[in-house]
């Protein structure tokens, strides 16, 4: 079985990290396959939302630690520059909404890949662990960038240093997760959110994502200029015209994503 699966239905590409016996930890092959799968989703006009989840009990346990030693060990610099940095960069630059459906434990790079997604949804039994400090590493995959912005500097600092396991409910309370669903509802409710996003004005959603990416390091003045620039682009889309027309005609809009 491939280590990453993709299935497209109702405008949503479901990407499943598929090394369940290793809690979906990333080896080199899986890191490359995940990147090429994200590229396929970016290029496929039938895909208007991407839903990332894990096979089996876990979401993703981060780096496969068995790949770090022995004859075929991969250098840490390569792991970041060729695996995780390109993965999180792809997710942030993808001009479509990316949903992390966290179906179990998310540890190390697995946690931080989830946190860089546009919408993070978790099953009630899921957990998040900044596992890096436990093996003498620092959080990567954008974790030192996103986590303090999501939960505040102090909480991020403690989570990263202690490497505590945080429950899905606690993660939701802290602002790492948008919604938590009970086990019986998780699959249906999380895919429903992805399908809702898949039927929305995709180009407009991509512009929201661009505005948010820009906002994390911009001044207020520059951000207002950016909003102006991106709003003009949004107003030039056919989905904007359809959205307004549908409202005035008191009917549901039919968005094409353009």
Binding site for ligand LHQ (CB under 6 A): 22-23, 25, 61-66, 68, 76, 79-80, 105, 107-109, 129, 131-132, 135, 137, 140
Q: Are 182 and 168 in contact (CB under 8 A)?
A: no
Return the SS3 of 55: coil
| Least distance (Å) between residue 80 CB and ligand LHQ | 6
Residue 72 vs 217, nearer CB to ligand LHQ: 72
| Least distance (Å) between residue 89 CB and ligand LHQ | 15
**How far, in Å, CA of 75 to CA of 32, rounded?**
16
| Least distance (Å) between residue 165 CB and ligand LHQ | 7
Q: Are 30 and 2 in contact (CB under 8 A)?
A: no
| Least distance (Å) between residue 205 CB and ligand LHQ | 29
Residue 126 vs 194, nearer CB to ligand LHQ: 126
Return the SS3 of 10: coil
Written as six digits, the tokens of 253 are: 């809009």
Residue 80 vs 253, nearer CB to ligand LHQ: 80
Residue 64 vs 239, nearer CB to ligand LHQ: 64
Angle in degrees, 0-180, between the axes of helices 238-248 and 202-215, rounded to the nearest 10: 110
Q: Are 119 and 99 in contact (CB under 8 A)?
A: yes
What residue has token string 């999501």? 150
| Least distance (Å) between residue 138 CB and ligand LHQ | 9
Residue 11 vs 19, nearer CB to ligand LHQ: 19
Written as six digits, the tokens of 35 are: 């990147």
Cα torsion through 81, 82, 87, 90, rounded to 10: 80
């Amino acid at each position: 079985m491939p280590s990453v699966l993709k299935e497209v239905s109702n405008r949503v590409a479901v990407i499943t990290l598929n090394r369940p016996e290793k809690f979906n930890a990333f080896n080199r092959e899986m890191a490359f396959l995940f990147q090429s799968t994200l590229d396929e989703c970016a290029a496929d006009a039938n895909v208007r939302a991407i839903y990332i989840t894990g096979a089996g009990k876990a979401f993703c346990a981060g780096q496969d630690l068995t790949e770090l030693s022995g004859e075929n060990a991969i250098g840490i610099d390569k792991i970041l520059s060729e695996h995780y940095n390109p993965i999180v960069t792809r997710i942030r630059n993808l001009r479509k909404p990316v949903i992390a459906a966290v179906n179990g434990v998310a540890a190390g790079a697995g946690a931080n890949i989830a946190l860089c997604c546009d919408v993070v949804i978790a099953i009630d039994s899921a957990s998040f662990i900044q596992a890096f400090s436990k093996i003498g590493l620092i959080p990567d995959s954008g974790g030192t960038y996103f986590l303090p912005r999501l939960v505040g500097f102090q909480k991020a600092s403690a989570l990263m240093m202690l490497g505590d396991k945080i429950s899905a409910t606690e993660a939701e309370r802290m602002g790492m997760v948008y919604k938590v669903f009970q086990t019986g509802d998780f699959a249906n409710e999380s895919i429903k959110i992805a399908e809702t996003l898949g039927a929305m004005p995709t180009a407009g959603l991509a512009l929201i994502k661009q505005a948010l990416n820009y906002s994390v390091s911009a001044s207020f003045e520059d951000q207002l200029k950016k909003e102006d620039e991106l709003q003009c682009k949004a107003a030039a889309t056919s989905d904007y015209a359809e959205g307004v027309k549908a409202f005035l005609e008191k009917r549901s809009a039919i968005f094409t994503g353009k």
